[in-house]
A and B are shown apart, each in its own frame.
Chain A
Amino acid sequence: NAGVTQTPKFQVLKTGQSMTLQCAQDMNHEYMSWYRQDPGMGLRLIHYSVGAGITDQGEVPNGYNVSRSTTEDFPLRLLSAAPSQTSVYFCASSKTSVNTGELFFGEGSRLTVL
């Protein structure tokens, strides 16, 4: 079972470059989300989606865009990378949207912005 798949696992960018972190899930989950993890700050929600065509902002959305054209995929776009976006990014999905249940996480993408 693939579960939640994130690519790439590691990426180094220069300031100002753009890139997309990919996330795909094969569990037919309605809910998908992106978190960033920084030391001492836990996991902070960037964007989330409750279904195809529906996205909304989380706690730290600035500098990131998302789209949800299919149930399976939820890519995260960095339009102009900044050193402050150096972090570990996790994609997570859940079966239902209402009263969200268990979150299933991908293995993470470690991004360094120079």
Chain B
Amino acid sequence: GQQVMQIPQYQHVQEGEDFTTYCNSSTTLSNIQWYKQRPGGHPVFLIQLVKSGEVKKQKRLTFQFGEAKKNSSLHITATQTTDVGTYFCADSGGYQKVTFGTGTKLQVIP
């Protein structure tokens, strides 16, 4: 079956440093969604990418969809303590099933 892997599994950064998490799939992704889950909370939708090579920005967050639609990335510029949490990518649009990646847990050191 489809596997959606994320690297790294954990990342500790100093506040103000940049952070990137990568999402890789064993099969072609339909659409890619990104979610953020704060500690003790529930996943919250951030964005959806649909087109090959698509790049979208939300303030300090930049999302990219690979040209072959088999990978995606989330880059955070100048991290803040409010960025702490686990970031998940998810393949949406495949036969009504949304398949989540394994997640990257971000810790920001003040």
Q: Which residues of A contact B (CB under 8 A)?
A: 31, 33, 35, 40-45, 48, 50, 56, 58-59, 90, 92, 97-108
The smallest beta-carbon distance between A44 and chain B, in angstroms, is 7
Give the docked Cα–Cα distance between A40 and B93 (Å).
Answer: 24
Return the chain A residue nearest B30 by Cβ.
Answer: A99
What are the interface flags for B44-55 relative to A under an 8 Å C-beta threshold, 1 for contact and 0 otherwise? 110010000000
Q: Does residue B92 face the partner (Cβ distance < 8 Å to A)?
A: yes
Interchain CB contact under 8 A, B9 and A40: yes
Q: Does residue B59 face the partner (Cβ distance < 8 Å to A)?
A: no
Give the docked Cα–Cα distance between A33 and B41 (Å).
Answer: 18
Q: Does residue B68 face the partner (Cβ distance < 8 Å to A)?
A: no
Interchain CB contact under 8 A, B45 and A104: yes
Interchain CB contact under 8 A, A42 and B45: no
